[in-house]
A and B are shown apart, each in its own frame.
Chain A
């Protein structure tokens, strides 16, 4: 069992250095032994105990964290703007976020997936913070973004989640789910991310960015938004 902490400046730099080093030496171990000690980390208030991580999807991780912080009465605003706590959690769970392969090496992604940034255009790339935040905002409808294993950052997140006006629109995210989520296979519909396919999710993003300057999308329901879409999206609606 671990108690949540916050990386200090030195701890953050240590973690960042590790990410650089493991790109050269893919078998290098993360500095988890420094996690619970000053000067690498400091206490988080309130004191929160973590169970060992038993979830396998990002949605499971998001739900676990939302439930955990709610159980301890922690305000969203106190953790949304706390990138070093998210970095500490990523270091704690590094073996799950960047698993060791059978040959002992790791496939490391870019730094922002592990070291959390306060720059909001990078924040959504963090594997832990984004899982919590997207689940917090959209609960069941976060599945389109968070259905993957813990170490995957999907294109749905990359394209939609960094856009403030879009990720805060609950009805729009519900409409996205109605279009692109396949309840039978429990994953996005085939072709949703295929850029050559009519009505793919990137084309929808372009469409939304145009109409949001014309219509007040935040007062619309998911049904209203779906009704706005041109004909190329009809096959996606019908197969829901």
Chain B
């Protein structure tokens, strides 16, 4: 399914224009503040600006005024939501002179943090996965790596443990590209409609700089699924080859063990 067709010229609000900070009382999340810079984007002053906080099946909308007069509403309370620590935010600029509410600009999956966020192509979330160590969730606008919070010290393992890096991430990469080619069905290898396809293909080019990717356009008559699988295999191999530090640490850990 192609979700990213943009027939109406919807603009992307980049993360350097957004800052969402949460306020806590006794470590409990209470409310949030937002700084939004929409100048120079060519948006009409009268267009409405909304921020939505969401996770799971909870969603709360906050009215931040208009493009010409952005202002924090009196109540940005979050304490009534069950999943405060996992919340993501979405900013929407809506033309309400259009009776259907045309979305003029949007930014999604924003995490609360500092002034400028560096966006990872693979957001990580922690939850109870039963007896699964990890899985990739494709239900949103981009793949999200879910890690099992029941595993002790999983936050640190995922960040620094060479075994985790070499056992899990190659499989994750294989999973993501397999999904891209064979589930989503990528439409254009050079300029894919889905934003996350584009980001991950750019990531792949860091490891496989040859022109084999350009020959993998599923729209071409000569597209061969075997070639795509081979390309994914080579990509994973090159990714692993680039992890020389982790590999050496892994070997030393195994020797000690």
Residues of A within 8 A of B (CB): 9, 16, 75-78, 80-81, 83, 111-112, 115, 117-121, 123, 133, 137, 161-165, 167-168, 206, 209-210, 213-220, 224, 228
Contact = CB atoms under 8 A, between A and B. Distances in A.
16 contacts: A77-B80, A80-B82, A81-B56, A112-B130, A117-B129, A119-B135, A119-B146, A120-B55, A164-B55, A210-B2, A214-B10, A214-B102, A215-B103, A216-B94, A219-B96, A219-B101
Interface string B117-132: 0000000000111110
Given A123-B56, A216-B103, A219-B101, 10 more contacts: A9-B150, A121-B137, A163-B139, A164-B139, A168-B57, A213-B10, A214-B7, A215-B103, A219-B94, A220-B100
B57 A118 contact: no
Contact of A118 (B94, B127, B131): B127
B13 interface: no
B104 to A, nearest CB: 10
B228 interface: no
Contact of B57 (A16, A167, A209): A167
A209 B54 CA distance: 17
Interface string B60-91: 01000000000000000000111100000000
Contacts of B135: 119
B4 A213 contact: yes
A81 B128 CA distance: 11
Contacts of A167: 57
Nearest to A167: B57
B159 interface: no
A220 B101 contact: yes
Contact of A164 (B3, B56, B102, B150): B56
A57 B137 CA distance: 30
B92 to A, nearest CB: 7
Contacts of B128: 83, 117-119
B57 A119 contact: no
Q: Specify the main secondary structure of chain A where it touches its partner.
A: helix
B214 interface: no
A139 to B, nearest CB: 15
Interface residues of B, number: 42
B26 interface: no
Interface of B: 1-8, 10, 50, 54-59, 61, 80-83, 92, 94, 96, 99-103, 106, 127-131, 135, 137, 139-140, 146, 149-150
Nearest to B102: A215
A209 B193 CA distance: 14
A215 B101 contact: yes
A168 B58 contact: yes
B1 A214 contact: no
A76 B127 contact: no
B8 to A, nearest CB: 5
A25 to B, nearest CB: 20
Most chain B CB neighbours (cut-off 10 Å) among A75, A111, A167, A215 = A215
Contacts of B81: 77
A162 B5 CA distance: 23
B189 to A, nearest CB: 22
B21 to A, nearest CB: 22
Q: Which of A77, A120, A216 has the most CB of B within 10 A?
A: A216
Contact of A214 (B8, B56, B99): B8
A9 B94 CA distance: 46
A188 B146 CA distance: 34
A120 B56 contact: yes
Given A210-B5, A216-B92, A80 B58 contact: yes
Residue among A16, A78, A121, A210 with the highest chain B CB neighbour number at 10 A: A121
B63 to A, nearest CB: 11
A162 B139 CA distance: 8
A225 B99 CA distance: 12
Q: Which of B81, B94, B100 has the most CB of A within 10 A?
A: B100
Nearest to B79: A77
B57 A214 contact: no
A77 B57 contact: no
